[in-house]
Structure formats: C-alpha cells, structure tokens
Structure 1
Amino acid sequence: MNSIFTPVRLGRTTLPNRLVMAPMTRSRAAFDGTPGELAAEYYAQRAGVGLIVTEGTQPSDDGQGYLTTPGIYTPAHVAGWRKITSAVHDKGGHIFIQLMHAGRMSHPDNTPHHRQSVAPSAIAPGTGMFTAIGMQDIPTPRPLTTEEVRQTVADFRHAARSAIEAGADGVEIHGANAYLVQQFFAPSANTRTDQYGGSIENRARFAVEVAAAIAEEIGADRTSIRLSPGTTIWGIDEGAEGPDLYRYLIAELDKLGLAYVHIMHQGSEPLLADIRKLWHKSLILNRPGRPRDQIGADVASGLVDLEAYGQMVLANPDFAVRLKANAAMNEADHNTYFGGTARGYIDYPALSA
C-alpha cells in the first residue's frame, strides 16, 4: 500500500502519489458543451489524487454522443475549462482532459447539429441511447470518407491545443470503451477497404495518427491514450487478431514517447504483461470493481506505475486521505451519476466535514 503514496514522474509533471481519478461521464455540461457551473468545485474537491483524468470531452460537433457532455473546441469551452483547471491547480492538483469522439455511439438528437453520426463503417451498434425524449435506438452511422478521417485527426489536434490553452496539464485520447478509436480496431465495426481498414496496421492507423498529431501539437510528454483491450460492449468484437493488434499498437505508440498509456483492464493477463514489456513510459491500470484491499497491489508488484479508480473517487472527494487513514468510504449513489445538479456531484462529505 505504501508504494502508491510515493511520487512519480508523468511526462513533464511530478505527481505526489500514484492514484488516478478515472474518467467518468457526468452529463452536467450546458447544451453548447460548456462545462457546468459546478464542475470546477467537483474536480477541485478531488485534487488530492495524483492525477485527475476528466470526463470524456468531445473534440467536435460530430464527436458528441451523449446529452450535455462537455466539449473543448470553441472559445466558450476553453473559458469554461480554464475555471476548472485553475481550481484544480489552486488545490495543488494535476488534470488531463480526456478527448472522446463517440463515433457511432451517438444519436442525432444529442448533438448540436443533429446530423447522422459518423464511424469507420455503416454498421449500427445494436443498442439504445438516452435522449431528451427518452431511450431511442442508435441509428446506423455514416461512414467517414478517407478525407474526413484525416479531418477528424485534425479535430483531435485542435482540441488538444484548446485543452492546453484552457490550462490542462495534458490530454488523454479515449481509445477505449467502444468509441470511435476502438471502432477502427474492431472488424465488427470496421469493414473499410482504404488504408484505415483490413490489416492490423491499417486498423491501428487512426489511433497512431491521432496520437502523433497531438504529440506534435502539444508535446508527447503531455499526450496519452486510454485503451480497453478485449472490450466486447455495444457490438465491438476485435476478433482473434485483437491481442496482436494491441501489441502492434503499443509498440508504435512507444516510438512516440507519450506520457502514459492507461489500460481499462477486464481481459487477458498475458496481454497485459506483454503491454508492460512493450511500453517503456508510465503505465496506468484501471481494474473495474477492484476491492479496496487490493488497492496498490499492482503498483507494489511493479506491473504498473499508477492505478486508476472511478466510483470510489466519485463518492469520496478525499479518496487519498481516506485510503491512507484506512477510513470508511462513502458509497456512490448510482441514481445521480448522470445529469442533475449538486446532489451526488459535489455534496459527498469529506472526513473533515
């Protein structure tokens, strides 16, 4: 346990501990994508972890999937995020903004332009999505043209620059959980015949190009990516070649010298061990549902450099303090995860409250 409270260098930043707040959608932004008024307090309350990774933040109108998620591509977005990063920094914290393009995991009713969603191929995920009028089936997306794929890479680049202008310490590319980047990986979502489909190298190309563009724009030491090898939600199936795709991808990303790779792990332990061998910078691991008595075990074993936690940090703004003191933890209220106001957002009590 003690090793998780030791400092660690992450890119150009030294963190005071090895605890990470995992990205969690909260759906409390304004309809134009500007972060909500309570977001600065929400994130600042949790500045005691070594690193905050924000909720998924769309890099463009096309990138939005859910209702009232924040963006980081307009001046209003930048101004809104600057309040958040300043509040976190004032508390001595560090914050990376996660850049998330939902791809086909979207509904026209949820986006500013109300257009058909875009994806590698015209294949619907076969699930529903909550909209302002309730649950609706997600429509079949429109396949991106080759030129539009390149424009999407440029959108990520612009969003990364906007994040730095907003005061973020860096950005994390959302390459996990069945959203656009992972859609390119999966043959069940990608049947393209251009340079972004078919072979392992082609299906990994979009992720590598996004990472390279952002690293060129803001520095590799402020660029990172989150991956979820083996995820099978919402019609994603990476097939028998999936593990080899990730081995290839990690080796290519390693050449870029990014600040970290963040793995949401529910899959193969041998693949995770291979990722550790192939990746020579910081590695963050998020094991959903990890029991409290296992916190710090992966850092202590040397498997990873940092560990990420979601629900426990959501419900415990003083997560690091409680953990170090072996104090009781608040339970998360699932009914207030998405949307709403202060309840279940900034009103979880700290030990000193």
Structure 2
Amino acid sequence: MSVVFNPIESYRDDFTFRNTSKAIKRFPFPFPEDQYMYSVNIEPALKGEAGSVFEHWFDIDEHYLSEVAERAKVLEKDPDRCLVMPHMECAAWDSLALLMTHLARDYPEWFELYQSGDQWVWVNHALNLRQAFTYGDSETLPCEPLEYITRQVQGDFAILDQRDNNLWMDAGMVTGPADWSIKFDAGMNFTQWHAPVPMAHKMGVFDRALKYLMNIQVDRPVRRLNWTMTVNPRLDTSSETYHEWGHERSLVTPDNVAQMVHLRVELQFLARLPRSHALMFSIRTYLIRLDELATQPEWACRLHRVLRDLPDELADYKGLSQYRAMVVDWLKSYDPAERPCCAE
C-alpha cells in the first residue's frame, strides 16, 4: 500500500500535528484488557495486516516528513542525541544496512538501494537524496552511518551491545524520548536503565524480559507496545528539555483536556543485527489526541477504565497525576457502565 505524506507539521510551538482518519484507524491502541499492569508483553514480530503498523519491520506513515524535520531541529540544538561508542562502529554500519534493506524492499516508491560489493547507492525520493558510498568507510558519507540513516527514519533507536550476561546501551539516536535521555543512559546496562520503573522489579518482569531478549536470533525479531500520556503532541519530552514541557501538565483544564492530552504509544521492536550481533531496539512513537481517540468509542471506553483503575504508583511514574482525574471524567461518557440507567 502506497504511503502518502502530510505536509510538514510541528511537534512544538504552534503544535500543528494532527492525525487523519486513516492514521486514527491504524493507531496501535495498546490495551487488550480493561486493566493495565506491567508484563512481559513481548511477541514475535510477524508480518501484520496490510496497511497496519505491524505490516513491516519499520513503519513509515503520513507523518514521515514531519518527524524527519523534527529530528533535524533537535540535532541542530543538541547533536549529542546521536552517539556511538568506538566499539559499536560495526553495529552502526549493521544498523544502516538493515534499515536501508528493509526500507527499499517495503517502500520501493520512496526508497532504493543498489549494491555492488562494498559500493552502495542509496536513494531517498521523499527527501530528494542520492548518496553513493563505500560500505564500512564513514568518510564516504556526510556523517557517521547510524546518524545518516536514522535522520531518514521515523522513531528512536538504541543499539545494545550484549556482553557480561547483560545488554548495554552503547549507541543510539534518540530525539523523541518519553522522559529519559540517551546521554544519561549511555553505558548503562538493561537493569540499570530500568531502575526507575515501579512495581515491575518486584514482579520479576525485567529479569524475565532480559533473558528473553538476549536469546533473540537473527531474522526472528520481537515487538511490544508501551504507553504513556503527554500534554500537546510533543515528541521531544527528553529529560534535558523538561524545562520546556514539564509545566504544560498544569495547563490542562476540563475545557481543553480533549485537545491537549494525547495518548502516546511506543511500538518497540527488537532485532538481532547479523554482522555485529548487537541488538537493535527501535522505538516508534505514535500520538493521538483524546478527541481523535474518541472517534473509536470502544477505545475511549477502555482507556477510561484503564486510567480510572491505574495504581497511583504507576500514574505518578508516567506523569499523569496532575490531569488524570480530568481525563477520566472526560472519557466517562464513553463507558456504558458509567451512564445512568434510563427510568421506565
């Protein structure tokens, strides 16, 4: 199915980001039940239904031009959002190869890749780019290979080195995180960067997840959905920019809650890189306003129940406490169990 790109929208300042009806219908709603608890909700990343966010390994959608432009803005102010430790150079090239190969195969109307030994040519029609380069030689690209290709892909990427019976965040491109920072987490292992998450450690969730992830095989990727909420369609809610967005939580009122509050869903995808054997962890973020989400009434009903019954500890961790009651109250009308019974 051919992808049609929207004109460039903004994820800051005037916040012109919106979803078309097509984007709403393919939104990865993350709740299979009326209650939410942390779990190892990892599944094989099998090819999904045509047109869905699960159809291809790397989803390209109507917001492609907007996200690429947003990434460029973040990197212009903070180029260290892309980092590659020296021992991860092979993994960076491995990531470039994997992304180019899949994009050219899955979206041939927008991307092309030609290979003759180590002489490669990459064509990105969406951005009007054509680049001939020598695979393995960074001097033949405009910038380091991981930065070059991830500037042209939606979503964030952490490249994990596997050693000492753990996974280590030693490379990545992260310009749109949900309240974390790759510069802070760089060099940490899986256990360390998940330390702030409440409740899950008591349940042994991350111990089981780590064992599972370290056994991922080449061409056997896995995926999971994660979620939080955010005020305004702001992609870059990094720790280092908290001063720009943290106060927005206090701006939510009963009158603007449906326009300001967004459900933020991450499609997390993990694939073993074939040459370096590092693990690629891609985080593709989708945003949807409450009033957009409510065009699917069953989603609004379920989100009402999830947020209403969410443990306070999790609500605090996800930063929802200031406006959760307003969201729950707004969604109440979509829950049949909350409607008054009709008098006979």
What band does the TM-score fall into relative to the shorter chain?
Answer: under 0.3
TM-score between both structures, scaled by the size of structure 2: 0.26
The structure whose Rg is larger is: 2
Q: Which has the higher strand share?
A: 2
TM-score between both structures, scaled by the size of structure 1: 0.25
